[in-house]
Chain A
């Protein structure tokens, strides 16, 4: 007879369960390393992370998905990422106190970058690649914050994300994170050389290469077993290439070829890497030679995998 009370109780319990399970995991301020952050290293992290490619303000009057970034230090946001899950608008990360991240504490910044949690305790959408940044050294993240705070404060009004109904429930990301955010730092492969291990840190951490180059499952999480073997372009057409040392990937490139590609934006055949990668290369061009060589060593050392997404026959020249 009081079956309806039972149903309400179950629903409440489920709701409470959902709330608890999806509560954001955060680092505590006491867990942060002591010491003075190094803004110079922070600038290098900023380059390795390619932050300006997303957070840089688009040209005036250009479409929000225009890849050009006129001023890499103008981080007013406003760029858009059009994905199968909806359209995401990139936020302002300049030191502006109202529309940017001015006034954020160290632990708030670390939790945003490495746990995908806002200062107010809301989940960020993984369009912000915190699943990669979780692998970074906290010191590097703090150095980055120190550098960001030296940049000009720019006020801007960035639209809210434009997402279909089911994806508008931010809290639901708590469930997604249970699957895809393990909170572990980068674990170098002991079988790799120290150089390749360094490359692995750059690729899996700040470089967040896998966010484009690793295929994703239906929930939009990266399939780690198919690491860097290529993926469908999240922004629509074309294919993101396989960069494993397989013949379907870049197996026929030497480590030197990879270094040159990262330095110039050109393939060994003197063709531009193309699309977004040409923009990425603008940043990798500013890394040290050692770090480019480290990335190349890593990409030559990872498991060769066949391409996850077949692309139309590539003209081999």
Chain B
């Protein structure tokens, strides 16, 4: 009886740890989106619209930081972090059903954000156009893979 209780306790702790770590993974991927993509996107948007002074160097820096997110982001969707695993996440089951397409979307985010970084030195108008292509990626991916009201 004692050993059964021991096993139950150990399993319980392991399950809790797994749950805790699954939630950590969710937090990490949300942070990448909120703290890097959304935050930097907003700052660059303000510069393009003219509410902040247009700083090509800053734009390049901010957009390169966004460009670094997708490669890391796609690694943060292991088994056990899906809604069906009881984890609190905005991620849609489709991510695990269509992993190749999900990665393709991430790749497009990387491409378009780095394109903005490259274009920044060419001035406002071309950067505006490149930024529109980047901004279009948000909805394209979220529509399929996220319930987040970003």
Q: Verify if A199 is at the interface (C-beta below 8 Å from B).
A: no
Contact call B149/A270, Cβ cutoff below 8 A: no
Complex alpha-carbon distance, A285 and B140, angstroms: 14
Complex alpha-carbon distance, A270 and B139, angstroms: 12
Of chain B, the residue at the smallest CB distance from A264 is B135
List of B residues within 8 angstroms of A270 by Cβ: 38, 41-42, 45-46, 135
Q: How far is the CB of B17 from chain A (nearest CB, A)?
A: 36
Could you list 26 A-B pairs, sorted by A, with CB under 8 Å? Answer: A254-B50, A256-B49, A256-B50, A257-B49, A260-B45, A260-B128, A263-B132, A264-B132, A264-B135, A264-B136, A265-B136, A265-B139, A266-B45, A266-B138, A268-B49, A269-B42, A270-B45, A270-B46, A270-B135, A271-B150, A272-B138, A272-B139, A272-B149, A274-B149, A278-B139, A285-B136
Contact call A266/B135, Cβ cutoff below 8 A: yes
Contact call A268/B51, Cβ cutoff below 8 A: yes
Q: Verify if B61 is at the interface (C-beta below 8 Å from A).
A: no
Q: Verify if A27 is at the interface (C-beta below 8 Å from B).
A: no
List of A residues within 8 angstroms of B136 by Cβ: 264-265, 285
List of A residues within 8 angstroms of B46 by Cβ: 268, 270
Q: Verify if A158 is at the interface (C-beta below 8 Å from B).
A: no
A249-282 interface code vs B (CB 8 A; 1 in, 0 out) = 0000010110010011110111110100010000
Of chain A, the residue at the smallest CB distance from B50 is A256
Name the residue among B46, B50, B139 with the largest chain A CB count within 10 angstroms: B139
Q: Verify if A163 is at the interface (C-beta below 8 Å from B).
A: no
Q: Verify if B143 is at the interface (C-beta below 8 Å from A).
A: yes
Interface residues of A, count at CB 8 A = 17
Of chain A, the residue at the smallest CB distance from B128 is A260
List of A residues within 8 angstroms of B149 by Cβ: 272, 274
List of B residues within 8 angstroms of A265 by Cβ: 135-136, 139
10 extra A-B contacts, CB within 8 A, seeds A260-B45, A270-B42: A256-B49, A264-B131, A264-B132, A264-B135, A266-B45, A266-B135, A268-B46, A268-B51, A272-B150, A278-B139
Complex alpha-carbon distance, A269 and B44, angstroms: 10
List of B residues within 8 angstroms of A68 by Cβ: 143
Q: How far is the CB of B114 from chain A (nearest CB, A)?
A: 18
Complex alpha-carbon distance, A278 and B150, angstroms: 12
List of A residues within 8 angstroms of B150 by Cβ: 271-272
B26-49 interface code vs A (CB 8 A; 1 in, 0 out) = 000000000000100110011011
Complex alpha-carbon distance, A264 and B44, angstroms: 14
List of A residues within 8 angstroms of B41 by Cβ: 270
A128-152 interface code vs B (CB 8 A; 1 in, 0 out) = 0000000000000000000000000
List of B residues within 8 angstroms of A260 by Cβ: 45, 48-49, 128
List of B residues within 8 angstroms of A272 by Cβ: 138-139, 149-150
List of A residues within 8 angstroms of B128 by Cβ: 260
Q: How far is the CB of B69 from chain A (nearest CB, A)?
A: 16
List of B residues within 8 angstroms of A256 by Cβ: 49-50
